Structures are given as structure tokens and as C-alpha cells.
Amino acid sequence: MRVLKHLFDNNKNWALRMKEKDKDFFLNLSKQQSPEYLWIGCSDSRVPANQIVDLLPGEIFVHRNIANVVVHTDLNCLSVIQFAVEVLKVKHIIVCGHYGCGGVKAALESKEHGLIDNWLRNIKDVYRYHQEKIDALKSENEKISLLCELNVAEQAANVCHTTIVQNAWKSGQQLTVHGWIYNIEDGILKDLDICISSLDEISKTYRLK
Ligand code: CO
């Protein structure tokens, strides 16, 4: 017996609709993928990369985890970045956070959540770097929103500090790292004016010769 039948029905209808618009859509897509973008976003079900930027399958390479964190020892995330940059030759890496992020919110609390607290530690570190600025805000919501934004900036910087991105820039590859944030309440993306496209723009501490 097939379980979750409604999902298979949805899938069949979706595939039909896609083929109605372009009968060779899947055939062409099966031959290659050449996305221009790598999206690093939160796993939150309300923040689906393709739908937010209205792109078709094949147009955006995606990595998602809780609170869009980029850790320099995370083989999963690093492998995605390496494949995207070195094989797919994406031109843009977008780190996209979102307001009201549960992971960011949890990182601001001292409540225990189990294993995930080890992951959220990365965001607690971001809080520690900017503690004065965040603590100065009055409401809890403002604090969470600011930490959501600062977390994007930190994770975008972490992308730039990887050997993968630094080597791409050194070899003259055109690659820009962006920091964006999404508002679940109105569906609108905001550019946080983070746009890094060369070695000179990153902190000397992390720059490798
Ligand atoms: Co989130």
C-alpha cells in the first residue's frame, strides 16, 4: 500500500502542469544543471528557496539547515559550497536568514533543547560578539530581529573565509557572496547590503595568501 498518497497525487499533477507549459522540461533538465546561484538558508518550512525567488528546478542550488549557519568544520555545508563553486561555477552565493527564526530565538534563551543546543552555540557566539548592541534594545522581538540580521552577516563572512571561496577569487573566478533576510509576514526579501566579491573585502585575520 502506498502511504502519503496525496503527496504522490500532488507530484503527478505538478509534473503534468510543468509538461503542459514545456513538454521537454524534464527531458532538458535531466541532461544537465547549470544554476547561477547557491542558496544557503534556514530549514524552516516557511522559507522555501525556489518559491521565494520564483525560480524553476535547475535554477538554484540549495543548502538549508537550522538558522542558516555556515561552520568551517561542517563537511556537509562545505561540500555543497565546493561543488557549487568548483563544479557548477555558480556566480552568486546567497546567505538568506529570516525574521522570527526559531533557531535564533532559541539561541537568545537559556532553556535547554537537547542536541540542537550544540548547533545553536554558533548563534550564541554571534550574540556574544554583538551583545551590547542587542541588549540595548527594549523588546524581545527587536532583539531577535537584530540577531537574525547579524547572524546573516556572520554566516556570509564565514562563507567568504572558506578556502573554497578564497581560492575561487584567487583564480579570478567571478563570485559574489550576498546577505539577505526574508520576512515571513509579508513574503518580501530584504537585501542587507552585504555584497562581497573579492579577497580585499574580507578581514585580514582570515585572508590566506
Ligand atoms: Co529559521
Q: Across all residues in the chain, what is the average pLDDT?
A: 97
Rg of the chain over Cα atoms, rounded to whole angstroms, equals 19
120 CA distance to ligand 1 centroid (A)? 11
Q: 62 with 39: CB under 8 angstroms? A: yes
- Low-confidence spans in the chain with pLDDT less than 50: none
Is there a contact between 175 and 168 (Cβ–Cβ < 8 Å)? yes
Cβ(107)–Cβ(123) under 8 Å? yes
* Cα 60 to ligand 1 centroid, rounded to whole Å: 19
Q: What is the model's pLDDT at position 160? A: 98
DSSP code for 138 = S
Residue 100 alpha carbon to ligand 1 centre in Å: 7
The Cα-based distances of 10 to 3, 5, 27, 30, 52 in angstroms read: 13, 9, 20, 21, 20
pLDDT score recorded for residue 132? 97
pLDDT per residue as tens digits for the range 111-141: 999 999 999 999 999 999 999 999 999 999 9
Q: Contact at 8 Å (CB) between 96 and 68?
A: yes
pTM above 0.75, yes or no: yes
104 CA → ligand 1 middle, Å: 7
Q: How many CB atoms lie within 10 A of CB 117?
A: 14
Predicted pLDDT at 1: 59
Contact indicator for 162, 75 with CB cutoff of 8 Å: no
- Say what the alpha-carbon torsion angle 188, 192, 196, 197 is, to the nearest 10 degrees: 30
Which amino acids are annotated catalytic? 42, 44, 46, 98, 101
